[in-house]
Amino acid sequence: MDLSLYTDFRPAPGRPFPEHYEQVIDELRLADRLGFHGVWTTEQHGVDDGYLPAQLPVLAAIARETERLRLGTGVILLPLTHPRRVVEEACVVDVLSGGRLTLGVAAGNYPNEFRIYGVPREERGRILEDGIRFLKQGLDGSPLPDGSPVNVPPVQRPIPLVVGGLAEPAIDRAARLADGHFAYSFMDPVDELGEMWERRLGPALERHGRDRASFRLIAAVVLWVGDDAESEWRETVGPAFLYQQRKYAEWDAGEERAEGYLEEAPGDIDLAKLMPRMLVGRPDEIADRLRLLRARIPLDELVFWARLPGVPHELASEHLERLAETVIPAMRSDGGSA
C-alpha cells in the first residue's frame, strides 16, 4: 500500500497566499526526498477561504519541483469544465512531469458551484459520463471525438483515469469507465471503507467483469502520528480538522450532503472523543490500524491530508519526517511499496 499526500493549498485564515504556496511546495519537495509515493490535489469553486480552484496549473508547478512523486487530481469536477480543456492540460502536465500524472474526475456536489458555472446540478451524473467518454479517447494522444487532435501527446499511453465518490452511482461509474476509484473517509475509515468495498465497489467490479489486478483503489483519510499526537491533535490538528468540516457544512447550503463527512455539527464535537475514530495516535498504534485497514480492503494507495488549514509549516514538515521514519517502513515490511 503506497502512502501519498493530499493538499487543497488552503492557508490558515489571514495567511498571505504567496508565502503559503511556497511553504506547501517546500513540503512537497521534502516528501519527494523522503520517499512518499505521490501527491493529490483537490478543488472547490466560489468559496471564500482560498481552497484551490485550479489543480492542473498547480500540478505543473509541482512537476518541476519534484523528481519522483506521482501527481494526481483528486478530483477535477468535470461537469464544470469542458473535457477537451481537461485532457489538453492533463497531457501538458504529463509531459512536464515525465509521465507522472493520474487524472481523477468526479461529478461534484455543492449547489453554489453549479449555480456559478450555469450547469444543472441534477444532470451532473450524465454530464460527467459524457465528459469521461470524450476525454478518455485523448488520454493516449489520440484525436478526440470532435475530430481534432490533442495538441501535445502525453508521455503515458494512456494517462491513468480514476473516478471519485462514495455514492453507489459514482462507484459503479468508476467500475465501468475508469482505471481506478478515489474514495475518502474522514471518520472510522476501517469500517467505512471496508463497507464501501464489500457492499459497493467489490460487487461493482464483479458486475462489470473488471480484473481487480488492473484496477487501482485509492482512499483519502486524516492521518496524524507522533509520540505526542494527542496534544498536537487537541491544540492544532483537531481544530484545523473542525474548521475544514465546518466549511464543508457551509457549502452544502442545506442540500443533500455527500457521504463520508463528519455527521455532527463541528461546534458540538469533543476532540478527545473524536480522536479514537480517526487515524491519529502513536506510530505503532497507527501502523497496526493500517494493517487492519489493508486486511479488510485491498487498498493500493492511502492518501492523507498533509496540512489541514491552520497547521503550521514547521509542524507539517516534522510530521512528514515522522511518517517517513516510522509508518513508511512498517508499510514496506508488510509488502507495500509506500
Q: pLDDT band for 11, please (50, 70, 90 cuts).
A: very high
Q: pLDDT band for 300, please (50, 70, 90 cuts).
A: very high
Q: How many domains does the chain have?
A: 1
* Beta strand ranges found along the chain (DSSP E): 2-7, 38-41, 70-73, 76-77, 101-106, 161-164, 180-184, 216-221, 223-225, 279-281, 301-305
Question: Which tens digit of pLDDT belongs to each residue from 310-324?
Answer: 999 999 999 999 999
Mean of the per-residue pLDDT values of the chain:
94
Question: Which tens digit of pLDDT belongs to each residue from 49-95?
Answer: 999 999 999 999 999 999 999 999 999 999 999 999 999 999 999 99
Query: Domain for residue 129, yes or no?
Result: yes
Residue 257 has pLDDT above 90, yes or no: no
Bin 172: left if φ > 0, else alpha if -120 < ψ < 50, else beta.
Answer: alpha
3-state secondary structure 4-43: EEEECCCCCCCCCHHHHHHHHHHHHHHHHHHCCCEEEECC
The answer, as to whether pTM is greater than 0.85, is yes
Residue 13 has a pLDDT of 83
Question: Which tens digit of pLDDT belongs to each residue from 217-252?
Answer: 999 999 999 999 999 999 999 999 999 998 988 888
Residue 282 has pLDDT above 90, yes or no: yes
| Residue 257 or residue 140, greater confidence | 140
Q: pLDDT band for 330, please (50, 70, 90 cuts).
A: confident
What domain range includes position 276? 2-333
> CB-based contacts of 73: which residues, under 8 Å, 6+ apart?
40, 41, 42, 43, 55, 56, 59, 90, 102, 103, 104, 105
DSSP β-ladder status, 2-7 and 223-225:
unpaired
Phi, psi of 3 (to 5 degrees): -120, 125
CATH number of the domain within which 120 lies: 3.20.20.30
Query: Domain for residue 50, yes or no?
Result: yes
- The span from the CA of 114 to the CA of 289, in Å, is 38
Phi, psi of 68 (to 5 degrees): -130, -15
* Helix, strand or coil, per DSSP, at residue 181: strand
Query: Domain for residue 338, yes or no?
Result: no
Instruction: Kindly state the average pLDDT of the residues 35-59.
Output: 97
- The span from the CA of 59 to the CA of 183, in Å, is 20
Instruction: Kindly state the average pLDDT of the residues 128-157.
Output: 97
Query: Domain for residue 188, yes or no?
Result: yes
Question: Which tens digit of pLDDT belongs to each residue from 180-225?
Answer: 999 999 999 999 999 999 999 999 999 999 999 999 999 999 999 9
Query: Domain for residue 23, yes or no?
Result: yes
Residue 60 has a pLDDT of 98
